[in-house]
Chains A and B, each alone.
Chain A
Amino acid sequence: MIRVEGLVKKYGEFVAVDGVDLAVGSGEIVGLLGPNGAGKTTTLRVIVGILEADDGRVEVDGHDVSSQPLDAKRRLGFVPDRPFVYEKLTGEELLRFSAGLRGRVGPEVDRRIDELLELWDLGPWRDELVESYSHGMRQKLILSSALVHGPSTLVIDEPMVGLDPAAARLLKRLLRQFADQGGAALISTHTLEFAEALCDRLEVIRSGTILASGTMEELRRQAATESGDLEEVFLRLVGGIEERRIARALTGDPRA
């Protein structure tokens, strides 16, 4: 599980995250939604220990990320927003490397690697260098590397990027099962349909601050809309662009 209290992160004078509180319990999938530049990626990177917080507290499974980073990271699996990996390793070598960094070796790791590569249809590519993988294949490989050591908590930044419909569906089922088995998952995404279908709770962030949080029903109430899908709720909360301005941008006609 994840607990974040009063998280603040600045880049120089710019405040990227400003007092964020959120929690992801065991067996729960929480979606972090927000417009570009809202502070989603920064929040996730502080949670997984890549960035240091300027203020506030982050715990993973009861371990403080700042004072007990290694204990917290042992329980985490992380998928970044852009799938950069070592181009000169093969898919299998990358998974073995990822497991080795977490102190996992031996037949159990071999079995996990086989299972994950087969699950994502990467079996035929296991001995190919990553440099020859497509964007979607890299995403699948990084998802596998986040799972290879059997984490209790997953932090995923934009999971759907590059995935085909079959892989996207597989990911949804996988995350549901992960949560049903007691795992905790925090997911940042722009794919509102994915978030609506999968997440138990949603956190809407803008300008580094949580605007609204709760279940879909609770968000509808906060957005003062009786019905409507997540897109409508989201746009009501963070604001959208008027139809007139879109028409003007398309036609270049100021009278539109």
Chain B
Amino acid sequence: MRTWREFTWLVRVKALSGLARGAHGAGRAGRIALVLGVGGLTLPGIYLLLLRFLRSLQSTAEVGPLLAAKLLGLGLMLLLSILLLSNLIAALSSFFLARDLPTILAAPVDWLAVYGARLVETGVSSSWMVALVLVPVLAAYGRVYGAGPAYVGYAVLVIVPLLVIPAAAGSAVTLLLVRVFPARRTRDLLGVIAAAGVALLVLGLRMLRPERLVNPEGFRNLMDFLAILRGPSSPWLPSQWTADALMGFLRGRADPFLPVLLWGTAGGVTALGAVLHQQHYSTCYTRAQEGATRRVRWGRLWNGLGRLLAPLGPQRRELVLKDARVFFRDATQWSQLIILGVLVVVYVYNMRVLPLRSSESVGRYLSSLVTFLNVALTGFVLAAIAARFVFPALSLEGRTLWLLRSSPLPASSLLWSKFWSGMVPLLVLALALTLLTTAGLGVGPEVTLLSVVTVTGLTTTFTAQALAWGIAYPKFESENAAQIPTSIGGLLFMLGALLTLGIVVAFQLWAMRGWVRSGLPWRQARPPSAEEMGVAIGFTVALCAVSGALAYRDARRRLERLEA
């Protein structure tokens, strides 16, 4: 009884502080509007799309219901893997690094209450978004199969243990990891594991070659295909049990064993987690307080880079060096490059396998249109990367901003350093993407030149815009760089960047319309004229230069007035 009272008290305190943060934090109205806007559009969107898709499947007599069940199993397996990964990371924070832990552990609170409260915190913070996404998915399935109100209760009955299992398992694995590594090293390790996991997922999805589904010649035998669909994908995973339970209920053949199996597993994993917690938590928490003693490596490399940057002068050189060191020593930062690398490979590969040559006559026309689509997509990727890596540049100075503000460092030098540290890697990526994809599309040198000038201009203005919005909406208290762009400032930057991109691509399409149309089968193909190129390049350079310069000037003014 006492343990239960302590548990509810701990959960209540955490919930109240979370609600208070949401109610009084900066940009509250904007956050609420953002959440309502995104949620209001996304969730009904998922519901309607899935409903349409499931209905079209229903009309295919033999294969349709099998595909619907398969789809649910795969979707839940994907969610389960995401949940496991996010619970691993969240558990590290809630069980070992949270600032309120010393107060709680010093109080005479039962260990089971602490375990339960932290498990709830870990599970809720990791799963609420997944649970929200599941609502329209399960609603669409229910609607298609004409399920009654009992379906809601049954869905809750089999989904809740699916959320509990990864929370308990993730917390237990994190506990064991901290037993071996110090918590701060574990955080680095988990960052790399998470990034590698996402990268493998993207690669795996790509390697499934979904484009084969639209190629009827790809199926060897219909019976083979049906046999694969009938068999469970992963009979040992709770996600498959949940999918089977839901599909059974919807088809009127509910298996009472599956909910028991799910709840039994959830209870078993939680009990195992509790036993591990009781036996090891104290030792692990003590270990988590130890600093991760780390002697730096690559000393010669950094010295060499320092010598290379000597012409910049001491202030700018030290700033660039510091940013590079901090980035490459923080696994939560550099590990994002793994995901980025995989996305680039997948993107370039996709561009190269586009079936543009299926028909020689329309191939030319499609190629020229895809060139603009390619610039638009590259621009979008650049904007997203600028949001992730350039937008947080000032916020990441955070609590150390005093060091810069109390030194004789002009705001212009600080901005200069942030601009070039962000722009150079972004430009290298932009040019690599553009040259690799335009070569694959087989376009001429004029169009390659236009693409190169465009992505260079976009990179310049996106870097300046990301810095300007990042300085206007800093988040100095955030310890996670990935969370910084999820603010109103990050959203405004993305809107501004996409507007710039839209204007550039639309204008180029208009300026080059004569050349694009010359690719139509009944026309005489020709290279772009000097006039078309001049107008397209001139406008792009002018727009990017003006928007970039305005953003840069705004960033400098704000930085000069910034108080730390």
Residues of A within 8 A of B (CB): 45, 48-52, 69-71, 73-74, 76, 78, 80, 82, 84-86, 88-90, 93, 96-105, 127-129, 131-134, 145
Contact = CB atoms under 8 A, between A and B. Distances in A.
B294 A98 contact: no
Contacts of A52: 561, 563
A49 B292 CA distance: 34
Contact of A103 (B314, B330, B564): B314
B414 to A, nearest CB: 10
A76 B294 contact: no
Given A100-B318, A131-B184, A84 B402 contact: yes
A98 B400 CA distance: 12
A244 B105 CA distance: 32
B424 interface: no
Contacts of A99: 314
Contact of A89 (B322, B407, B563): B322
Contacts of A82: 399
Contacts of A69: 408
A187 to B, nearest CB: 16
B296 A86 contact: no
A105 B329 contact: no
Contacts of B402: 45, 50, 78, 80, 84
B315 interface: yes
Contacts of B403: 85-86, 98, 101, 145
Contact of B329 (A49, A80, A129): A129
Given A89-B325, A96-B318, A127 B295 contact: yes
Nearest 3 CB-CB pairings of A with B:
A100-B318, A132-B291, A84-B399
A134 B289 CA distance: 11
Given A101-B319, A103-B314, 5 more contacts: A50-B563, A51-B564, A70-B408, A78-B406, A132-B291
A112 B333 CA distance: 33
Given A52-B563, A131-B184, A71 B291 contact: no
Contacts of B319: 101
Interface size bucket, B side? 35 or more
B132 interface: no
Contacts of A50: 402, 405-406, 563-564
A12 B326 CA distance: 35
Nearest to B322: A97
13 contacts: A45-B402, A70-B410, A71-B408, A73-B406, A73-B407, A85-B400, A86-B403, A88-B329, A96-B318, A127-B299, A129-B329, A131-B291, A131-B294
Interface of B: 184, 291-296, 299, 313-315, 317-319, 321-322, 325-326, 329-330, 398-400, 402-410, 561, 563-564
Nearest to B297: A127
B481 to A, nearest CB: 12
Contacts of A45: 402, 564
Nearest to B184: A131
| B184, B293, B299, B402 — most chain A CB neighbours (10 Å) | B402
Contacts of A80: 402
Contacts of B564: 45, 50-51
A101 B318 contact: yes
Contact of A88 (B295, B317, B325, B561): B325
A70 B321 CA distance: 22
A201 B405 CA distance: 28
B408 A74 contact: yes
A162 to B, nearest CB: 14
Contact of B326 (A88, A98, A134): A88
Contacts of B398: 84
A101 B404 contact: yes
Contact of B407 (A71, A93, A101): A101
A102 B404 CA distance: 10
A132 B409 CA distance: 28
A62 to B, nearest CB: 15
A101 B296 contact: no
B314 A100 contact: yes
Contacts of A86: 322, 326, 400, 403
A28 B337 CA distance: 53
Nearest to B290: A132
Contacts of B292: 129, 131-132
B418 to A, nearest CB: 14
Contact of A104 (B314, B321, B410): B314
A117 to B, nearest CB: 15
A82 B408 CA distance: 21
Contact of A105 (B293, B314, B399, B410): B314
A197 B563 CA distance: 34
A74 B410 CA distance: 12
Contact of A132 (B293, B315, B330): B293
A121 to B, nearest CB: 16
Contact of A100 (B293, B299, B315): B315
Nearest to B293: A132
A73 B339 CA distance: 42
Contacts of B315: 100-101, 103
A83 B296 CA distance: 21
Contacts of B408: 69-71, 73-74, 101-103
Given A84-B399, A131-B292, A76 B406 contact: yes
B403 to A, nearest CB: 7
| A98, A103, A104, A134 — most chain B CB neighbours (10 Å) | A103
Contacts of B314: 99-101, 103-105
A127 B299 CA distance: 9
Contact of A84 (B400, B406, B407): B400
A128 B295 contact: yes
